Structure 1
Amino acid sequence: MQPRRFARELALLGSSQLSSTKPSAIASQDLDALVTSAVRSLAGEVQDALEVAAGEVQQGQDQLLASETRASSVDEARTSLQKALEKTQSAINRLGSALQIPEMIQLSNRKEIRSYAIELMLTTGKNREEVDAELNEAMVSWNVKRLPKIDRDILRIAVAEMKYLGVPDRVAINEAIEIAKRYSDEDGYRFINGVLRRWVNRFLQTSEAAPAADSPANEPPLPLQADSDAPLV
């Protein structure tokens, strides 16, 4: 895995620290501390997913016991069990990601990972209000605070990279989608793709008189994908 992609993942998983940790403390963290924070974050998500799955299983069992062969109750039980399976699969995926972190650290540039992860965390935290305001404008009848935490933080990091760190929009969007495929779901990464493309067309390309130095010259605007930014339910 590329060091910067791994740094993005560490910043994403460590973003919960931003509201309670001073910037100076974040800047002084070593890579091992960032990894520990990421693993703890994933472990918490695994536990939450399994608890929800257990609740769905119990609900499905109760519905079956009370159904007395009523088709509606059987269908509701089937729906609950399907949700339980989805949450369990999500927990397994999170656990797999947590187990991969130590190996990825050993195979990557540790100094670059730490440096960029901290830069992302500090930049995203410092400019969160402005980023959220622009994301709210880029979404239709939706609000950043109503999004799942993972999706919200992926959007924030991608916008921060494009707006403040000079990362080309195509790179930032592609990286956000790849990370969303690991930590969100299919609806999540499609939603993220649509919102970021809309943000680029609304804010980035209208505010720049000329292409950025590290972006392809005269690149046409990114097309919007139909229904790609419909609200998640």
Structure 2
Amino acid sequence: MQARRIARELALLSLSQLPSKAAKLDKKALQDVVLAAVRTLTTEARDTLETAAAELQRSDAKILDSETRAVDLDKAKTMLKEAIALTQNSINRLGGALDLPEFVQLANQTEVREYALEIVRRYYQEREEVQQQLDQALVDWQLSRLAAIDRHILQIATVEIAYLGVPDRVAINEAVELAKRYSEADGHRFINGVLRRVAQQMGVATTPPGAAVNTEV
């Protein structure tokens, strides 16, 4: 996992914990928000593992029932299918949970924390202009009506493009990856389109629409 990619995800989790109408957030308050995001990740890892363990127990119970309580072969097959599905869910959860300890460890590194904090700080300082840029780029939508996760992904990418010197192609690609992880099924396409319009508005668009970019900064 690359440091800035982790920092963006940490900033995304941090933005969700910012008070919407606070008069002022000082550096310490912002640091506390980032710390809270790390704690959120730790809790998520623990909860995911607990859920996976519970599903494995239910799967085991289904297998036992298929052997001892099934009245016929069809009933046994149904129970086994349910057990297999529960086991698969558990495996998928464990796969995701295995990434979280590394994520949490990297999120505690100074470089990652500082970049996440810089994203959050600059967003907070420039949020009126960021909102204006996004409002102009949205077609038949209002920023306030978007799902919170989509709104925060757009805000992070706009901050990176406008204030942190990140190339638009990198910021957009990273935002799309965040959307694939956190947003709805087609959310990444919506995010991609809005951010390309943002980049065009700023006069910094350098990547043709539809071009695949995997560069990390």
The TM-score with structure 2 as length reference comes to 0.64
Cross-structure match for 1:36: 39
Aligned-residue identity in percent: 51
Q: Hey, what's the Cα distance between the residues in 2 that align with 1:111 and 1:160? A: 21
Cross-structure match for 1:59: none
Question: Does the CA-based 8 Å contact 1:180-1:189 persist in structure 2?
Answer: yes
Cross-structure match for 2:6: 6
Q: Would the alpha carbon gap of residues 29 and 199 (structure 1) be closer, same or farther in structure 2, given more than 3 Å must change?
A: same
Bigger shift: 150-159 or 27-36?
A: 27-36
SS of equivalent residue, structure 1 residue 186: coil
Question: Does the CA-based 8 Å contact 2:106-2:112 persist in structure 1?
Answer: no
Cross-structure match for 2:27: 24
| Structure 2 residue 217 is the aligned partner of structure 1 residue 222 | no
The amino acid that maps onto 1:3 is A
Q: Hey, what's the Cα distance between the residues in 1 that align with 2:104 and 2:170? A: 22
Cross-structure match for 2:105: 106
Q: Hey, what's the Cα distance between the residues in 2 that align with 1:147 and 1:8? A: 20
Alignment of 1:59-78 (within 5 A): none
Once the 2 structures are TM-superposed, how far is the Cα of residue 95 of structure 1 from its aligned partner? 9.4
Alignment of 1:1-233 (within 5 A): 1-19=1-19, 20=22, 22-29=25-32, 32-38=35-41, 100-106=99-105, 110-205=109-204, 221-224=206-209
Q: Hey, what's the Cα distance between the residues in 2 that align with 1:33 and 1:108? A: 11
Q: Hey, what's the Cα distance between the residues in 1 that align with 2:93 and 2:133? A: 30
Q: Hey, what's the Cα distance between the residues in 2 that align with 1:123 and 1:5? A: 17
Q: Hey, what's the Cα distance between the residues in 2 that align with 1:94 and 1:194? A: 31
Question: Does the CA-based 8 Å contact 1:176-1:192 persist in structure 2?
Answer: yes
Q: Hey, what's the Cα distance between the residues in 2 that align with 1:95 and 1:204? A: 44
Q: Hey, what's the Cα distance between the residues in 2 that align with 1:123 and 1:93? A: 36
Rg comparison, structure with higher value? 2
Q: Hey, what's the Cα distance between the residues in 2 that align with 1:107 and 1:141? A: 39
Question: Does the CA-based 8 Å contact 2:42-2:104 persist in structure 1?
Answer: no
SS of equivalent residue, structure 1 residue 151: helix
Once the 2 structures are TM-superposed, how far is the Cα of residue 127 of structure 1 from its aligned partner? 1.1
For residues 130-167 of structure 1, the C-alpha deviation after alignment (integer angstroms, 9 at most, x for no partner) is 11111111111111111111000000000000100000
- Number of matched pairs: 164
The amino acid that maps onto 1:114 is R
Question: Does the CA-based 8 Å contact 2:7-2:112 persist in structure 1?
Answer: yes
Give me the CA root mean square deviation. 3.1
Cross-structure match for 2:67: none
The amino acid that maps onto 1:115 is E
Q: Would the alpha carbon gap of residues 193 and 7 (structure 1) be closer, same or farther in structure 2, given more than 3 Å must change?
A: same
Q: Would the alpha carbon gap of residues 108 and 154 (structure 1) be closer, same or farther in structure 2, given more than 3 Å must change?
A: closer
For residues 8-66 of structure 1, the C-alpha deviation after alignment (integer angstroms, 9 at most, x for no partner) is 111101112322572323344497543014556x69xx9xxxxxxxxxxxxxxxxxxxx
Q: Hey, what's the Cα distance between the residues in 1 that align with 2:31 and 2:108? A: 18
The amino acid that maps onto 1:9 is E
Once the 2 structures are TM-superposed, how far is the Cα of residue 187 of structure 1 from its aligned partner? 1.4
The amino acid that maps onto 2:7 is A
Once the 2 structures are TM-superposed, how far is the Cα of residue 189 of structure 1 from its aligned partner? 0.4
Q: Would the alpha carbon gap of residues 24 and 32 (structure 1) be closer, same or farther in structure 2, given more than 3 Å must change?
A: closer
